[in-house]
A and B are shown apart, each in its own frame.
Chain A
Amino acid sequence: MSRSIPRRSPLGAIQSAESPAHNGQLAERPFLTHLNLRLDPADATALAAVHRVLGIKLPLTPNTTTAGDDLMAIWLGPDEWLLLADHHQSDALLADLQTALSGQFASVVDLSAGQTVIRLSGPSTLDVLARGCALDLHPSVFQPGACAQTLLARAQALLIAVDDTPTIDITVRRSFAPYVAAWLQDAARHFGLSFPESNTA
């Protein structure tokens, strides 16, 4: 007898938690495709191969992103990127990249099950994050198109500026997600935002 196992996101319980009175939102973006890509940026052949598959160029400027339809390439290091894509692309995108880069000095690793994205949006977003993050995230220096890897409440996090609301996407490891979500819920309370309590264990 075979049974399919329903997949569960790390934060299924808070998939959409809104604080209507203050126009804030805390939500998981579950089941996205997360691919880690490493190659030498001086390798024009590999860069071109990736460009052909993705349709967008990899960002070569530190801490920036490039975006296409349902796909974002995020700078993680001088030879390392994170590709965030819609879930329905996962297997195809991984296979296409592996084919395009086969035989080259490059690697593509599927991290989709290992991390998740938490989206925090609303006028108090930066104040909430400032309670646990030392980076200056003011729109004058952290505009849409920017990203940063840093510590948020002592957990490693990748912050992505999405829009001017402001909206920040916070990528964390799966095992840190319940902690970070609970911390965000608590930090948000100081600004009058109340996101519904959830069982994130």
Chain B
Amino acid sequence: MLLIPCPWCGPREDDEFTFAGEADIPRPADPDALTDEQWADYLFMRDNRRGRHREQWCHTAGCRRWFIVERDTVTNEILGASTYGNSS
């Protein structure tokens, strides 16, 4: 079990959360300007990092907010959690 530190509710067990993969992937400003390859890369391609990984979680069964967790993919150690800057 992972104990995930929700920035609002504090540490909660992972059953309460939804995982949504790698963080920090901005939506392209002008999707029409992209080639199919670039669009597919944005939609589907993700790093599969060994070690420190920034990823998106949602506290689904709690406050229902999205936030970012930094986790070590080797040890599962949670290194920290942060909001998206805009707190809601």
Contacts and interface: CB of A to CB of B under 8 A. Distances in A.
A150 B12 contact: yes
A134 B63 contact: no
Nearest to A156: B61
Given A62-B63, A78-B65, A151 B15 contact: yes
Contacts of A135: 12
Interface size class of B (residues with CB under 8 A): 10 to 19
A193 interface: no
A180 to B, nearest CB: 14
B13 interface: yes
Interface string A11-43: 000000000000000000000000000001100
Interface string B1-17: 00000001110110110
A66 to B, nearest CB: 17
A76 B65 CA distance: 10
A134 B88 contact: no
B62 interface: yes
A76 B62 CA distance: 8
B87 interface: yes
Contact of B8 (A62, A134, A150, A156): A62
B64 interface: yes
Contacts of A77: 8, 63-65, 88
A115 interface: no
Given A78-B8, A78-B87, A149 B65 contact: no
B61 A151 contact: yes
Interface in A48-77: 62-63, 76-77
21 contacts: A40-B88, A41-B88, A62-B8, A62-B9, A76-B64, A77-B63, A77-B64, A77-B65, A77-B88, A78-B8, A78-B65, A78-B88, A79-B88, A80-B64, A134-B12, A134-B15, A149-B9, A150-B16, A150-B62, A151-B15, A151-B16
Interface of B: 8-10, 12-13, 15-16, 61-65, 87-88
Given A134-B13, A148-B9, 11 more contacts: A62-B9, A76-B63, A78-B8, A78-B88, A80-B63, A135-B12, A149-B9, A149-B63, A150-B12, A151-B15, A156-B61
